[in-house]
Amino acid sequence: MRPWVSAIRNENGVVLPLALFFLVIMTTFLLAFLSMSGSEPAAAANHARSGSALYAAEAGIAHARDALVGANINALLAGGGQLFNAQAFGTGNYTVTVANNFGAALPPGETADPGGANNDTDGILVLTSTGTFQGATRQVQVLISNTSQSQFQNAVFADVGINMSSTSGTDSYNSKLAAYNAATAGSNGSIGTNGNITLSGSVTIKGDASAGGTVTAGAGMVSGTSTSGAAHVTLPDVACPSGGFTPSVPSGAGISYNAATGALSVSGGHNVTLPYPAGGAYHFSSISLSGGSTLTMSGGGQHVDIYVDQTLSVSGGGIVNLTALPTALTIWACGANTNAWTVSGGSVAYFALYAPNHKVTISGAGDVWGAIVADIDVESGGSKVHYDQALALQTTAGGKYAAVPGTWRER
């Protein structure tokens, strides 16, 4: 046999196994490709469902921030903290709970609220939202704060200037933690203005003093930092309630009220007691208390707002808040009137006063527990303002809790 014929026969014996080998390889690749092409739509669908669940969870956070404005936070915390349970969102839903920044609910690295699990004293809360969409679930958590919403961030703030003399001054406490105690009063009674601060006599400010202009104070009068040239702070006007003035008040000796003009006056050392109003608010054009007369709020611990268009004149008597909680009573100057206001303090003068277009004079030596915002603040009779830090936690109408930067995380 010729050698080249033998070589051909040997090659024929190799070709068939090689062909079978390559056929197996190609078949394996084909099956793998078919398997991959079949799983990609499923993976894409899972990814889409997961993304929709995340959107639902984030929608729950946004909804909760709105729903918490004006809510009774401590009652909500004590009741378990659930805001929404399987709230519909498109074809998915979200469940949201709120907790105080304390204990197990506190994210790593954050500061705990000294009030405990059911007592919000710092305005910071923890929201946890679980979004669900077609079997996919995502959960997010974020800290929210309302401290930037309140107008009452200082013991006293004035647009044009602050003048304090004699033994006037400020200190601080937190009514959500304990009643005021002079022996343990804090040093957060800061004052501020877009103009100048002038302190004289034996004034003592337990806190900072910040002025858009200059701070003039004797040595040791300000326990914190004195800052001149501070950034301007805008003090928004407040609109008067619609619907006219309060229709009636209780009658009695020394009490005069005209519902058409909204003018309320009490004289001769008498008292008018205002019960908790429908809607939680009173509206007057003016309030005048003279001859040691008083106005007593009887709100049963519920918050009451008093709106005054023109003049507040409280001399020799005072505004009495029997709850002893400044957070329960706010006096608002509404409209554009700029009449001067006079307020006398006293042992039951617990309120916040917002009058950015009015010169406010704190008369006499009576103290005020709460906070004051004015156009010009004058305190010359030795009166003191004991700033209630709980006022900084109250959101205003239309306000909203803000997310604390850097605290968003997915759980």
User: What was the pLDDT predicted at 397?
Assistant: 46
69 vs 65: CA distance, rounded Å: 7
User: What was the pLDDT predicted at 136?
Assistant: 94
- What does each of the 411 residues of the chain score in pLDDT, given as a tens digit? 455 445 445 555 566 666 666 666 776 766 665 555 555 666 677 888 899 999 999 999 999 988 887 677 888 999 999 999 999 998 999 999 999 999 888 888 888 998 899 988 888 899 999 999 999 999 999 999 875 568 899 999 999 999 999 999 999 999 988 899 999 999 999 999 999 999 999 999 999 999 999 999 999 999 999 999 999 999 999 999 988 999 999 999 999 999 999 999 999 999 999 998 877 899 999 999 998 899 998 766 678 999 999 999 997 668 999 889 998 899 999 999 999 999 988 888 999 999 999 999 997 778 999 999 999 999 988 889 999 998 887 655 445 688 888 888 998
User: What was the pLDDT predicted at 36?
Assistant: 56
What single string gives the DSSP state of each residue in 119-182?
A: ---SSEEEEEEEEEETTEEEEEEEEEE-TTT-S--SSEEEEEEEEE-TT-EEEEE-TTT----G
- How large is the C-alpha radius of gyration of the chain? 34
Contacts of 6 (CB under 8 A, 6+ apart): none
Is residue 145 a contact partner of residue 126, using CB atoms and an 8 Å limit?
A: no
Which residue(s) pair with 210 in the sheet? 192, 227
Kindly tell me the burial class for residue 280, based on how many C-beta atoms sit within 10 Å of its own C-beta (0-12, 13-18, 19 or more): exposed
What single string gives the DSSP state of each residue in 23-43?
A: HHHHHHHHHHHHHHHHHHHHH
160 vs 179: CA distance, rounded Å: 32
22 vs 113: CA distance, rounded Å: 71
Closest CA to 192 of 148, 235, 147, 238: 235
Q: For 163, list phi and psi in degrees, rounded to 5.
A: -130, 115
Sign of CA dihedral 101, 104, 110, 113: positive
161 vs 199: CA distance, rounded Å: 11
Tell me how far CA of residue 219 lies from CA of 204, 212, 358, in angstroms. 10, 20, 30
169 vs 237: CA distance, rounded Å: 27
User: What was the pLDDT predicted at 71?
Assistant: 75
Is residue 186 classed as helix, strand or coil in its secondary structure? strand
Is residue 197 a contact partner of residue 215, using CB atoms and an 8 Å limit?
A: yes
Instruction: Tell me the pTM.
Output: 0.72
Q: Tell me whether strands 329-333 and 350-363 are parallel, antiparallel or unpaired.
A: parallel
